[in-house]
Amino acid sequence: MKINIRFIIIPLWGILVTISEIARAQNYEAVKTDASYYFYDSSANHLIAVKIDSVAQSGDDILYFNFPQIRPNEDAFCHIPNGASWLGDPVTQKPGGIFLFRTIDSQSGNQTDTMVIKTQSSLNETWKFSNFPFSNDIIEAQVIAIANTTFLGIVDSVKIITLTRKDAAGLVVPDAINDEEIRLSKNYGLIRLPKFDDFNEYIRFYEITGKTNPETGNINPDLGSVYDFEVGDEIHTRYFSNWYNYTTSTEKWTIKRVTGKSISPTNDWKAYKYDICFLKTFKTSPEWIPENETGHQSVADTIFLNSAFAVEFARQPDQTFFDPASNWMLSTTAVLKLQRTAKFLNYNYPFSPNYPPDSCWNMVLVDGACDPYYIKGLGGPYYDCPSNLFWYSLVEEVIYYKKGSETWGTPLNCDSLLQVGTEEYDIKEDVKFYPNPTTGKVTITLPAATKFPCELLLTDISGRVADIFILSSNTQFIDITDLKPGLYFARLVYENELMYIGKIMKQ
């Protein structure tokens, strides 16, 4: 941590007064410098960070600087990588434990209003927290309780501060901000707080979800924690893409099981061995006849923890960095996926050569840009992408994982994957399911030579029979609305003779 403090000579009594002030401030401080703190808004599925990387003193004030973020410049035409933090850099601590936070105008990037937190306030004390935007009203803060509270497995004294909108006469004005809470921990600072930079535009409050030193809860995933496996761990994935105006479609189901692990003595790389089982289906218009490929293989992979990518990947959520390989300015977005922290790489800002470096970056104008994401302990990259110039759908997702005793999702079955498509049947191109994928109701058409009555068995990817239908005509409707979303294998059987194997995707 970089500390830039201006030293001055003061008399002994001044030193004693300063020490007394510091002692009182240490009882409750809004901003802490001993660790990185992480906060989460479940409504937006967004994780943000506080990591004070420099502290300065200006007279009697102490200035705290969080890491910079992407902000528009004054004319909003360009973006700069070293804009103010969501805390509203700098956070200013005044004597008496008064902390000032500033909002940032989303268009100009300039600081606007100031919000005040009085950390040494007593029970029932009130003060002006901020001006209410676009009116003469104010937002008043009041300490309504001081009590021991548990968070992240920690017990600490916490001040609960409520916010209320009031007019010039001091009367309460109905508003969504009323009764929202800010929570201030005695030893860990703010544990519930608004996102200060856009406070005048959105009412978004974040609660503490993790911290470092020591590590606890949800924290920033780095490459080492993303690729953190043990022998026996399993990750089951689904890949799907429609390319070039639906002319080709690919779907792949994969089971990856960790069979070996080694770490370098200097902890600068991790090497893994995997047992991989997969089913890949490829279709081409206009016939859309599936071509299946299956495989069972052993592969190895090494993760280099001191690579340039690993170093940049370790940046804090929303912190910017420059990728020299692409000549782009990147940022990251942290969320929770599958009960774990995940990080998106946002490839949004290429450098404009018409301006000096770091002075003008412009967001890419692409129809549906596709940013990869990585999940702590589950690897990556994964994708969940809308249509754009090159594809109409691109998805790679985890559908099941097992890590020690922890499991999530519905597992695939390797034997079921390998058996699909290994046998050929004369009538398979004449059996049609539509729509496929489906949200529930499916029309089935069968060739004239089909013998009736026959059974249609739907089994899930674990091999369990999900439903059975009796078919008695060449065109028939079935309803699978009650089945869970996922892939189902369709087997057409007449008097115990298997006539057809296909797939139905339930959305």
Q: What is the pLDDT of residues 60-110, one digit of tens each?
A: 999 999 998 888 776 667 787 888 899 988 999 999 999 999 887 766 667
Query: Which pLDDT does position 241 carry in this prediction?
Result: 83
Residue 22: band (very low, low, confident or very high) from pLDDT cuts 50, 70, 90: very low
259's tokens: 């069979």
363's tokens: 């967001």
Predicted confidence (pLDDT) per residue in 199-257, tens digit: 888 889 999 999 999 999 999 999 999 999 999 999 999 998 876 555 777 889 999 99
Tokens 């702590």 correspond to 376
Query: Which pLDDT does position 76 carry in this prediction?
Result: 65
Tell me if 281 sits within 8 A of 503, measured CB to CB. Answer: yes
What average pLDDT is seen over the chain? 83
Tell me if 409 sits within 8 A of 398, measured CB to CB. Answer: yes
- Selected residue with higher pLDDT from 15 and 360: 360
Query: Which pLDDT does position 452 carry in this prediction?
Result: 86
44's tokens: 């937006």
Predicted confidence (pLDDT) per residue in 369-407, tens digit: 578 999 999 999 999 886 655 556 788 999 999 999 999
Give the mean pLDDT of 437-462: 83
Residue 44: band (very low, low, confident or very high) from pLDDT cuts 50, 70, 90: very high
- Selected residue with higher pLDDT from 487 and 426: 487
Lowest mean pLDDT among 149-163, 277-291, 464-478: 277-291
According to DSSP H, which parts of 194-280 are helical? Answer: 223-226
Distance between CA atoms of residues 130 and 471, nearest Å: 69
Please give the class, per CATH, of domain 423-506: mainly beta
225's tokens: 């924690």
- Selected residue with higher pLDDT from 327 and 120: 120
Residue 355: band (very low, low, confident or very high) from pLDDT cuts 50, 70, 90: low
Tell me if 190 sits within 8 A of 141, measured CB to CB. Answer: no
- Selected residue with higher pLDDT from 164 and 346: 164
The neighbouring-strand residues paired with 142 are: 126, 162
Residue 418: band (very low, low, confident or very high) from pLDDT cuts 50, 70, 90: confident
Tell me if 162 sits within 8 A of 187, measured CB to CB. Answer: no
Tell me if 326 sits within 8 A of 349, measured CB to CB. Answer: no
What residue type is assigned to position 70 of the chain? I
Tokens 């916010």 correspond to 163
Query: Which pLDDT does position 169 carry in this prediction?
Result: 95
Distance between CA atoms of residues 191 and 158, nearest Å: 9
Give the mean pLDDT of 474-496: 83
Distance between CA atoms of residues 168 and 184, nearest Å: 28
Positive or negative: CA dihedral 242, 247, 248, 249? positive
Report phi then psi at 355, rounded to 5: -130, 160
Distance between CA atoms of residues 309 and 8, nearest Å: 43
Q: For a pLDDT cut of 90, what percent of the chain falls above it?
A: 48
Residue 427 has pLDDT above 70, yes or no: no
Distance between CA atoms of residues 172 and 178, nearest Å: 9
Distance between CA atoms of residues 112 and 164, nearest Å: 20
Range(s) of the chain covered by CATH 2.60.40.10: 423-506
Residue 351: band (very low, low, confident or very high) from pLDDT cuts 50, 70, 90: low
What is the number of other CB atoms lying within 10 angstroms of the CB of residue 272? 21
Lowest mean pLDDT among 42-46, 129-133, 444-448: 444-448
Distance between CA atoms of residues 55 and 213, nearest Å: 19
Beta strands across the sheet bearing 454-460: 465-471, 454-460, 486-494, 497-506
